[in-house]
Structure 1
């Protein structure tokens, strides 16, 4: 059964790709969350349905899953996604998805939400408030937010995640390009990935510790 760290390495890049696309869409709009209607509004022109994921507490330095937040009387209709993740964690024996609360040092909201984004196909938003933040996934976003990324964006995303998080570079690269629909050809020290849509071919070379040492290729025009 996979550990959370293994799941994170497999899913972080696809989750990050969706976040970058969502940031392009939202720009610098402000946000409002209405639990009564189950909707989040950004600026004056964008409104999406939401599924609550959980909250971070800065004073306690803990994460609380929305399904475990009994004090907030969250409408059950907003808990379908987080309940599914709990059931997934029970099936796959991933403790991070089944424990009601976690120290942020073990798994913070961003890391949990990135995995959830890849698994469920929804981007997420972090809404800060005094003393913490609420994380929720958005439903009904435009197709470009969750569509396979362009080759140039794929490079940016891969570079972002390997510089931001300690993880298995080969697992992350292999999983990301597979999830994006690229064709792979692997050798002990490299991975060749081809995008069928553009015929772009990238060759990723790994050092003797499994870290990405070089990415070469030409982006097709």
Structure 2
């Protein structure tokens, strides 16, 4: 995570959103339909008896007040300091780059905003995934780093054709910038010219076109 270039929140979701959303598929494949249980003293979240991941706590979302509270500002909950390192790293980045999203202790939000933060944080920090653990009155946003998820990852070029349209339907961003970043993160060689982008990975090819506002016009792939 470099501080040499000042990026807006839209730049960050474009830079990291694709590969982070892609990783959520790997998490889903590992945890299946199991319910979650968190143990903050141990610093873990579990999905059944045998699937246990170490976590970092980013913050909490309240359904009643529709606000998000960063973990480093949640002094009332007594969150262990060692579980706040990711949140503090994000805050530090916000302080250096002047991004209020990362430095405002509590702000109005919707559930979609929680996923927005989760995707950016997961991508920036190289997490295996993020998880929104809903507990009824609110939800706990955590990042997860685990070989169990990383090793479940398979090279699936086809996933681009479903993940990317989902990403741009959820959040505002520069589509051309976002697709290039996503493809590069998946190991594609990307060539961009004006309103066109082409990418190759082994025998796989993806071609996209964009309008004058860098919005996706077409996305096609020759994938094996």
Q: Do they superpose with TM above 0.5?
A: yes
1:217 is aligned to 221
1:179 is aligned to 185
RMSD over equivalenced CA pairs, Å:
1.8
Report the TM-score, using the length of structure 1 for normalisation. Answer: 0.92
CA 1:76–1:156 in 2, change beyond 3 Å: closer, same or farther?
A: same
2:58 is aligned to 53
SS in 1 for 2:151: helix
What runs of 5+ residues in structure 2 fail to find an aligned partner? 1-5
Query: Aligned match of 2:20 in 7, 15, 22?
Result: 15
1:149, distance to aligned residue in structure 2 (A): 4.5
State the alpha-carbon separation in 2 of the partners of residues 80 and 140 from structure 1: 16
1:199, distance to aligned residue in structure 2 (A): 2.6
Q: Report Cα offsets for 1:5-47 as digits up to 9, x if no partner.
A: 2211221111101111111111100110001111111012101
CA 1:106–1:30 in 2, change beyond 3 Å: closer, same or farther?
A: closer
Query: Aligned match of 2:172 in 166, 174, 191?
Result: 166
2:141 is aligned to 135
State the alpha-carbon separation in 2 of the partners of residues 5 and 106 from structure 1: 17
SS in 2 for 1:108: helix
1:77 is aligned to 82
SS in 2 for 1:137: strand
Structure 1 stretches of at least 4 aligned residues deviating more than 4 Å after TM superposition: none
Report the TM-score, using the length of structure 2 for normalisation. Answer: 0.90
State the alpha-carbon separation in 2 of the partners of residues 202 and 58 from structure 1: 40
**Contact 1:56–1:108 (8 Å) recurs in 2:** no
What runs of 5+ residues in structure 1 fail to find an aligned partner? none
1:53, distance to aligned residue in structure 2 (A): 0.8
SS in 1 for 2:69: strand
Q: Report the count of equivalent residues.
A: 217
